[in-house]
């Protein structure tokens, strides 16, 4: 009761597989759990595992997920999740589940716009701007993009450093990627807290209980927050509707891209992206989604 049916058993069986916990690596799951202010202690737990030791978070407040454009010609930016620490630092959490051209540049742009918002607090010209931490949870291999993290890890961090000394003159913008798509350890192989969190995030949607290997207070909070039966009725309804939309959307997106790229393959990658964008337009996908997926400009898409 209260749980979602996510898939059917093989032919010959009418019994359905019931999902107890949300799949946190979906837009709907991420927002249902980490976007709920009642679960902010769970969000703090995961932030403190990802962030370096000297940047730990004690408390957070939730911020609007949309930053308006700075001029009539700039589009607004919408984040999956945005919050602020007790010392003013901003934290942006984004989930990336499909390939996107110029993905790194988009992350830097989003973080930069959030950083610029910090300069509009009326502090004159002292530039007392709180740093911004953009955290990207990557659930899929980004195909033509090089691996971000070092060979012995799955977390990579980018910021302004002096090239020779590698020193950071001041905290400004930090872009952090967590390549969950490269995490392959079993629960028995998990040794560090980061290992255990990566296992929980990548597998929770397929589990029916909290594994003994993860039985600590932090993971008990996570599993309680992710249990669909515990959702308030309106939260559960919103989650289920968004999951249906998300599955349909990704199916449409992948189909359109495959058809368009196949048609334009012989004519080069750029023309292939244009063909993919044309297929997306035929399906009625929003322009901003097409821009994110293909990297084409609004003007290029309008000409198709």
Same structural domain, 131 and 171? yes
Last residue of a domain, one of 231, 264, 293: 231
Higher pLDDT, 7 or 153: 153
Beta-strand runs (E) in 114-165? 132-138, 155-158
Cα 107 to Cα 92: distance, rounded to the nearest angstrom: 10
- Residue 252 — pLDDT band, cuts 50, 70, 90? low
Does 161 have pLDDT greater than 60?
A: yes
Beta-strand runs (E) in 132-269? 132-138, 155-158, 173-179
Same structural domain, 182 and 256? no
> Which H or E element spans position 48?
helix 40-50
Same structural domain, 194 and 46? yes
Q: List all residues 6 or more positions away from 232 whose beta carbon is below 8 Å from its beta carbon.
A: none
Same structural domain, 112 and 254? no
Same structural domain, 58 and 198? yes
pLDDT in tens, 82-124: 999 988 889 999 888 766 667 888 889 889 988 888 766 555 5
Q: What is the pLDDT of residue 5?
A: 39
Last residue of a domain, one of 200, 231, 262: 231
Cα 173 to Cα 293: distance, rounded to the nearest angstrom: 24
Q: What is the pLDDT of residue 257?
A: 59
Does 48 have pLDDT greater than 70?
A: yes
Higher pLDDT, 153 or 45: 45
Q: What is the pLDDT of residue 303?
A: 80
Task: DSSP letter for 165, please.
Answer: T
Cα 285 to Cα 9: distance, rounded to the nearest angstrom: 32
Higher pLDDT, 170 or 6: 170
Among 50-59, 101-110, 291-300, the range of highest mean pLDDT: 50-59
- Residue 219 — pLDDT band, cuts 50, 70, 90? very high
Task: Compute the average pLDDT of residues 3-31.
Answer: 63
Same structural domain, 99 and 12? yes
Task: Compute the average pLDDT of residues 182-186.
Answer: 91
User: What is the number of structural domains in the chain?
Assistant: 2
Last residue of a domain, one of 184, 211, 231: 231
Same structural domain, 161 and 302? no
Same structural domain, 68 and 161? yes
* Through-space distance between the first and last CA atoms of the chain, rounded to whole angstroms: 48
Residue 108, burial from CB neighbour count under 10 angstroms (0-12, 13-18, 19+):
middle
Same structural domain, 71 and 217? yes
Does 3 have pLDDT greater than 80?
A: no
Q: What is the pLDDT of residue 6?
A: 42
Same structural domain, 219 and 72? yes
pTM of the model: 0.71
Same structural domain, 129 and 252? no
Does 66 have pLDDT greater than 60?
A: yes
Same structural domain, 302 and 227? no
Does 186 have pLDDT greater than 90?
A: yes
> Residue 288 is part of which domain span?
232-304
Task: Compute the average pLDDT of residues 253-282.
Answer: 66
Does 4 have pLDDT greater than 60?
A: no
Cα 298 to Cα 188: distance, rounded to the nearest angstrom: 48
Q: What is the pLDDT of residue 72?
A: 44
């Amino acid at each position: 009761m209260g749980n979602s049916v996510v898939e059917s058993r093989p032919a010959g069986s009418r019994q359905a597989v019931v999902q107890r916990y949300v799949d946190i690596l979906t837009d709907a799951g991420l927002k249902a759990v980490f976007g709920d202010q009642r679960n902010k202690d769970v969000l703090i737990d995961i932030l403190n595992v990802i962030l370096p030791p000297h940047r730990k978070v004690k408390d957070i407040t939730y911020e609007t997920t949309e930053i308006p454009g700075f001029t009539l010609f700039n589009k607004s930016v919408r984040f999956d999740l945005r919050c602020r620490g007790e010392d003013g630092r901003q934290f942006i959490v984004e989930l990336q589940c499909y390939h996107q051209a110029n993905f790194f540049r988009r992350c830097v742009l989003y973080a930069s716009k959030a950083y610029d918002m910090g300069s509009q607090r009326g502090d004159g010209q002292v530039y007392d701007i709180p740093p911004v931490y953009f955290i990207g949870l990557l659930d899929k291999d980004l195909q033509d993009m090089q691996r971000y993290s070092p060979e012995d890890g799955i977390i990579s961090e980018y910021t302004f450093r002096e090239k020779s000394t590698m020193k950071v003159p001041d905290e400004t913008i930090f872009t952090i990627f967590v390549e969950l798509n490269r995490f392959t350890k079993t629960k028995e192989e998990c040794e560090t807290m980061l290992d255990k969190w990566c296992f929980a995030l990548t597998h929770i949607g397929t589990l029916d209980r909290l594994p003994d290997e993860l039985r600590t207070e932090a993971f008990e909070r996570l599993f309680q927050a992710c249990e669909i039966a515990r959702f308030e009725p309106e939260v559960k309804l919103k989650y289920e509707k968004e999951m249906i939309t998300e599955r349909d959307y990704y199916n449409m997106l992948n189909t359109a891209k495959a058809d368009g790229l196949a048609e334009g393959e012989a004519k080069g990658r750029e023309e292939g992206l244009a063909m993919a964008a044309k297929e997306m337009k035929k399906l009625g996908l929003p322009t901003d989604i097409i821009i994110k997926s293909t990297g084409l400009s609004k003007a290029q898409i309008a000409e198709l």
